[in-house]
Amino acid sequence: MVTEERSAAAAAPQPPRRPRRWRAEPLITAATLGGLLLVWSLVAGSGLVPAYFVPAPRQVWLAFTDILAHGYRGHSLAEHLGASLRRVLLAFFGAAAIGVPLGMAIGSSTKVGAIFDPLIEFYRPLPPLAYYTLLIIWLGIEDSSKIMLLWLAGLPPVLIATAAAVRAVRKDYIHGARSLGASRRQIFQHVVFPACLPAIFTGLRVSIGFTYTTLVAAEMVAGVNGIGWMVLDASKFLQSDVIFVGILLMGLTGLLLDGLLRLIERLVVPWHGRA
């Protein structure tokens, strides 16, 4: 009997498979990048702009291979990249470790918000160089002042996004959990924190962007290595090909870090964006 049912099921007409949808976005992205590279090549090769303003792509590539082979100013490219990434990642993880719990506290308590909100809103609009000199006086010219500057730049996005996410949690979720007998710890663990995760990851992505944009300012004072320092040092001698190399490397590593955060977000918050 079972065999007959399986045969009948196999003989029944199967619904047609939907053809795999072709996505045009990767092609559009490739065409955009190719178009920008073509425009860059045409502008550099036209002779209308001096080479020290806009170097040709081939010149930038040769500068990259030279730095890759021989380093820059006594340090290899790996050492420059490693120094910059170390500063960025230490500051970013510090901002995440402080910003997420403090943001949760600010969003949950108006009294805690009354303490920290004015301080954050006061220094957040300040340009980093405005208080970098104070950090150098207090912490010296070594990495401590640089990492602190990056940390201060990366903290507000995490803090503000987390606090706003806590305040935006729907009250009926909390009331429903209470009606089922959940404790405060269980409500936080199973309702509030999971609901805030998408906004927290958004704040983390913005934070690492702010941290990276402050890198040049952090490395410009008494620096001897780092991608930001390499760009500033090359600008003194109008080495625009080296400047382009540094800018492209910072952009690519920033894309990789952001992509890693998005991957972690998809693994930790798989329900985000789905109905």
- Block mean pLDDT (10 aa), the chain, length 275: 48 57 81 91 85 89 95 93 94 96 93 93 87 89 91 94 93 86 87 92 93 85 85 89 93 92 91 65
User: Is 67 among the domain residues?
Assistant: yes
User: Is 274 among the domain residues?
Assistant: no
- Residue 72: phi and psi, rounded to 5, are -140, 120
Q: How many CB atoms lie within 10 A of CB 109?
A: 12
| Amino acid 1: pLDDT | 47
User: Is 112 among the domain residues?
Assistant: yes
Distances (CA, A) of 29 to 21, 23, 32, 36, 148: 18, 11, 5, 11, 36
User: Is 42 among the domain residues?
Assistant: no
The stretches of the chain forming alpha helices (DSSP H) are 2-11, 25-45, 57-70, 77-108, 110-123, 128-139, 143-167, 171-179, 184-187, 193-213, 215-219, 227-236, 240-268
CATH number of the domain bearing residue 244: 1.10.3720.10
User: Is 148 among the domain residues?
Assistant: yes
User: Is 128 among the domain residues?
Assistant: yes
| Amino acid 2: pLDDT | 42
Domain of residue 250 covers 56-268
User: Is 41 among the domain residues?
Assistant: no
User: Is 36 among the domain residues?
Assistant: no
- How many structural domains are present in the chain? 1
- The pTM score is 0.84
